[in-house]
């Protein structure tokens, strides 16, 4: 195997040259590589995709290919899921290791384990009373924690069904890291808001009394998505004044009040489907990541549809933005030269437990 090509040779590349080198490296690699590009990815990277979708869909599709290399243009936890669900001979790669997820970082294993110890102090046997549920937007070790403790993973589309399964196992749910998805999903199941308590991992016992913990049906980790946190009910109210015939669709990572004020709430795949299948000349206010909204607006404008980003402030997934044409060219040229960079490999024991929680989810949903 040849010596690694330093990124320094790529950092100053003009975009046009980076694109040309990406295409050349992809052509040289052929079917040995598959390029996964998440819906939220920037346009200059999105154009090079082999497969697109949300994180779980992409990981499952990659595992169905014969590609030797899975290059995930997303964020770190997505590449971990790809590594867990892909074939043993497939190698998952993240073009820039700095592409993380601020929401996923809000729950780490040390804090979740401390939470579990505190629940044991209050409840006695959390493994018999609490089902841990982690959103797929989380690190592999938290998926492994759920696998070890009889828990499960959920996505933004299957969360209500996963909660049903979880309550069938035990009377309470610990949901992390996104409180908003947990709250909206619980609300749709008919759980009163007062029975869903926010667990602050930086406070003893989550900032809750023992009585609150015992009463709660769901303990919602104090975490959120920085992009979806931006959206406000006032944005929807202003839109409706200007567009009384317009429709509002939001991602369930948005605040409860935003979801409640929307006409439709669902995952990225759901948002794309609803808007694309809507009648011509309809107007849509969309509460999710900017790159997706802009791309969707372009794809449906020939039908006379108006698609507008919910927030008046411009905001995209800044960590995913770290993957640029220069990093992608660097990654692919190294692969073409026989050198693997930024290999994402989940330790075997952790991967086995994480896969257990993912397989529970797939079986349920």
Name all domains of the chain by residue range, CATH numbers in brackets: 8-99+319-347 (3.40.50.10800), 104-226 (3.40.50), 228-309 (3.40.50.10800)
- Sort 297 into a burial class: Cβ within 10 Å, 0-12 / 13-18 / 19+: middle
Output the six-digit token pair for 222: 């104090």
Asked if pLDDT for residue 312 goes beyond 80, the answer is no
In whole numbers, what is the pLDDT of the chain averaged over residues? 93
Confidence of residue 34 (pLDDT cuts 50, 70, 90): very high
Output the six-digit token pair for 313: 């402030």
Phi then psi dihedrals of residue 300, to 5 deg: -115, 0
Asked if pLDDT for residue 176 goes beyond 80, the answer is yes
Binding residues: 38, 55, 101, 135-137, 156, 225, 251-253, 268, 317
Are the C-beta atoms of 310 and 231 separated by less than 8 Å? Answer: yes
Angle, alpha carbons 225-252-41 (nearest 5°): 55
Are the C-beta atoms of 304 and 281 separated by less than 8 Å? Answer: yes
| Alpha carbons 97 and 108: distance in angstroms, whole number | 18
Confidence of residue 53 (pLDDT cuts 50, 70, 90): confident
Binding residues for [4Fe-4S] cluster: 101, 225, 317
Asked if pLDDT for residue 308 goes beyond 80, the answer is yes
Residue 314 pLDDT? 63
Number of C-beta neighbours around residue 24 at 10 A? 14
Which residue from 273, 274, 296, 287 is spatially nearest to 315, judged by alpha carbons? Answer: 287
**57-81 pLDDT tens trace:** 888 888 899 999 999 998 889 899 9
**220-261 pLDDT tens trace:** 999 998 888 889 999 999 999 999 999 999 999 999 999 999
Mean pLDDT of 274-298: 95
Mean pLDDT of 6-34: 93
Confidence of residue 317 (pLDDT cuts 50, 70, 90): low
Residue 92 pLDDT? 96
**183-228 pLDDT tens trace:** 999 999 999 999 999 999 999 999 999 999 999 999 999 999 888 8
Residue 231 pLDDT? 94
Residue 318 pLDDT? 57
Q: What is the DSSP string of 129-180?
A: HEEEEEESSS-HHHHHHHHHTT-EEE-TTTHHHHHHHHHHH-SEEEEES-HH
Binding residues for iminosuccinate: 38, 55, 135-137, 156, 251-253, 268
Residue 9 pLDDT? 81
């Amino acid at each position: 195997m040849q010596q690694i090509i330093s990124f320094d040779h790529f950092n100053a590349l003009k975009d046009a040259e980076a694109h040309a080198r990406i295409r050349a490296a992809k052509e040289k690699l052929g079917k040995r590589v598959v390029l996964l590009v998440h819906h939220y990815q920037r346009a200059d990277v999105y154009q090079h995709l082999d497969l697109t979708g949300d994180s779980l869909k992409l990981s499952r599709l990659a595992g169905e290919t014969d590609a030797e290399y899975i290059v995930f243009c997303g964020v770190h936890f997505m590449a971990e899921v790809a590594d867990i669900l892909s074939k043993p001979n497939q190698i998952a790669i993240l073009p820039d290791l700095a592409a993380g997820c601020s929401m996923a970082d809000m729950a780490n294993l040390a804090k979740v384990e401390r939470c579990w110890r505190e629940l044991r102090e209050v409840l006695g046997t959390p493994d018999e009373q609490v089902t841990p549920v982690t959103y797929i937007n989380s690190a592999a070790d938290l998926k492994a924690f759920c696998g070890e403790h009889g828990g499960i993973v959920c996505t933004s589309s299957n969360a209500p069904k996963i909660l049903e399964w979880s309550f069938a196992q035990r009377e309470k749910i610990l949901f992390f890291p996104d409180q908003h998805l947990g709250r909206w999903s619980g609300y749709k199941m008919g759980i009163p808001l007062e029975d869903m308590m926010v667990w602050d991992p930086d406070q003893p016992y989550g900032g809750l009394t023992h009585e609150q913990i015992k009463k709660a049906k769901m303990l919602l980790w104090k975490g959120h998505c920085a992009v979806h946190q931006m959206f406000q009910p006032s944005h929807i109210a202003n839109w409706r004044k200007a567009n009384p015939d317009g429709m509002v669709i939001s991602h369930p990572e948005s605040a409860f009040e935003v979801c409640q004020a929307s006409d439709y709430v669902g995952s990225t795949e759901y948002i794309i489907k609803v808007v694309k299948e809507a009648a011509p000349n309809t107007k849509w206010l969309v509460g999710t990541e900017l790159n997706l909204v802009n791309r969707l607006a372009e794809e449906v404008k020939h039908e006379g549809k108006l698609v507008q980003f919910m927030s008046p402030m411009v905001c995209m997934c800044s960590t995913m933005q770290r993957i640029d044409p220069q990093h992608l060219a660097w990654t692919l040229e190294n692969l073409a030269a026989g050198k693997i960079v930024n290999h994402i490999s989940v330790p075997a024991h952790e991967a086995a437990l994480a896969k257990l929680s993912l397989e529970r989810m797939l079986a349920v949903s």
